[in-house]
């Protein structure tokens, strides 16, 4: 084998080193991100010039894997795969034992496979059709590439040749009616489409030309000069709308009267409750004074009276009648 030498004295195979004239693999590309060099096996499997943009066919060394995947290596691997598949199906063939038999068998297999694909394709086309789609022109012609020569200037105008025709739709285009020089939709303003030649927003109207433009511009300027009050003027109200507004006003008046009467009644009730609470508070204070004057042994037991939560009026009466000895104005409260 190349790169190896047989020693007759020791009866072992010795791997020779590289020839001095050959460049070392690890010196092919000094970039640390290039192909990995295995120092133990002296192997560099990937291409060291992969990141340089050079073609593998142009460099002197493209890695150890380049030799494995070029030449007859691929065809030999396909033949070996076919031999394994044929052996599994009952054919006794071997790449090393019967190479000629395997080669002939593999060639006949490829011919039969191509004939079977052609017959299958013909049967599908006969049954379903579609031969016209398979006979389509190449992709270059499908992209509208022709041999017509057209030369353009730097500004995009045609200098030599015929300019490419613009594709038209199935609908009628550039149809101008009623003396219009532009089509409908050529003018747009404030969310409306119209004719550019006369600034008219009415479709199928007769063209008025420059006079129509002046009128439209004059109306726009007048509308801009009007005050905001005139802009927000509404249409005259109908009888139904007037009747509904009157009904709403009546309801509002009734609601105000009812709310006022309710509030006055509530205030009267509150005042009456407050008077009752004040009278009850005065009676309670008098009762307490009488109890304080009696002897302690003759005082009644408090648990005999009913215990309940005081109302708001009773609390207000208590605050009004409460004595504050620390208050400098307390002497005037009793007057």
Question: What pLDDT, on the 0 to 100 scale, is given for residue 170?
Answer: 77
Please give the torsion angle defined by the CA atoms of residues 219, 221, 223 and 229, in that order, rounded to the nearest 10 degrees: -160
Question: What pLDDT, on the 0 to 100 scale, is given for residue 272?
Answer: 84
> For the segment 287-309, what is each residue's pLDDT rounded down to a tens digit?
777 776 665 545 555 544 556 77
Per-residue pLDDT, averaged over 80-104, amounts to 92
Residue 292 exposed, middle or buried by CB count within 10 Å (0-12, 13-18, 19+): exposed
Per-residue pLDDT, averaged over 76-97, amounts to 91
Q: Which of 73-87, 114-128, 303-317 has the lowest mean pLDDT?
A: 303-317
> For the segment 32-60, what is each residue's pLDDT rounded down to a tens digit?
888 899 888 888 888 888 888 888 888 88
Which pLDDT band holds residue 220 (cuts at 50, 70, 90)? low
Q: d(Cα 295, Cα 270) in Å, to the nearest integer? A: 39
The CA-based angle 9-10-11, given to 5 degrees, is 95
Q: How many CA atoms lie within 13 A of 278 on its CB side?
A: 8
Contact yes or no for 330/324 (Cβ under 8 A): yes
Q: d(Cα 49, Cα 61) in Å, to the nearest integer? A: 9
Q: d(Cα 26, Cα 38) in Å, to the nearest integer? A: 9
Q: d(Cα 65, Cα 72) in Å, to the nearest integer? A: 14
Q: Which of 89-93, 211-215, 277-281, 318-322 has the lowest mean pLDDT?
A: 318-322
Per-residue pLDDT, averaged over 63-71, amounts to 80
Question: What pLDDT, on the 0 to 100 scale, is given for residue 15?
Answer: 58
Burial 5-20 (b: 16+ CB within 10 A, else e): eeeeeeeeeeeeeeee
Instruction: Look at the pTM and tell me if it is higher than 0.75.
Output: no
Residue 59 exposed, middle or buried by CB count within 10 Å (0-12, 13-18, 19+): middle
> For the segment 141-186, what is each residue's pLDDT rounded down to a tens digit?
676 666 778 888 888 888 888 777 677 777 787 888 888 888 888 8
């Amino acid at each position: 084998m190349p790169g190896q030498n047989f020693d007759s004295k020791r009866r072992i195979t010795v791997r020779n080193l590289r020839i001095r004239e050959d460049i070392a693999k690890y010196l092919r590309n000094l970039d640390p991100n290039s192909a990995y060099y295995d120092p133990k096996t002296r192997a560099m499997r990937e291409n060291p010039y992969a990141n340089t943009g050079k073609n593998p066919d142009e460099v002197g060394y493209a890695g150890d894997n380049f030799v494995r995947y070029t030449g007859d290596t691929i065809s030999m691997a396909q033949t070996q795969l076919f031999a394994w598949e044929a052996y599994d199906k009952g054919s006794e063939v071997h790449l090393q034992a019967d190479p000629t038999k395997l080669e002939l068998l593999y060639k006949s297999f490829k011919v039969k496979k191509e004939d079977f694909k052609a017959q299958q394709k013909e049967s599908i086309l006969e049954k379903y059709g579609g031969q016209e789609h398979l006979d389509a022109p190449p992709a270059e012609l499908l992209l509208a590439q022709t041999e017509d020569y057209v030369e353009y200037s730097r500004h995009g105008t045609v200098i030599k040749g015929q300019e490419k025709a613009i594709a038209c739709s199935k609908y009628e285009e550039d149809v101008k009616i009623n003396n219009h020089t532009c089509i409908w939709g050529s003018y747009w303003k404030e969310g409306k489409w119209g004719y550019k030649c006369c600034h008219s927003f009415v479709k199928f109207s007769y063209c008025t030309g420059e006079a129509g433009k002046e009128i439209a511009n004059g109306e726009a300027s007048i509308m801009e000069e009007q005050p905001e009050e005139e802009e927000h003027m509404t249409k005259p109200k109908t009888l139904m709308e007037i009747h509904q507004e009157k009904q709403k006003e009546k309801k509002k008046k009734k609601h105000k009267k009812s709310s006022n009467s309710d509030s006055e009644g509530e205030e009267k009730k509150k005042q009456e409750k407050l008077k009752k609470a004040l009278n009850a508070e005065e009676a309670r204070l008098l009762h307490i004074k009488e109890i304080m004057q009696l002897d302690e042994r003759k005082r009644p037991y408090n648990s005999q009276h009913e215990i309940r939560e005081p109302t708001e009026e009773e609390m207000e009466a208590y605050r009004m009648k409460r004595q504050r000895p620390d208050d400098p104005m307390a002497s005037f409260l009793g007057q």
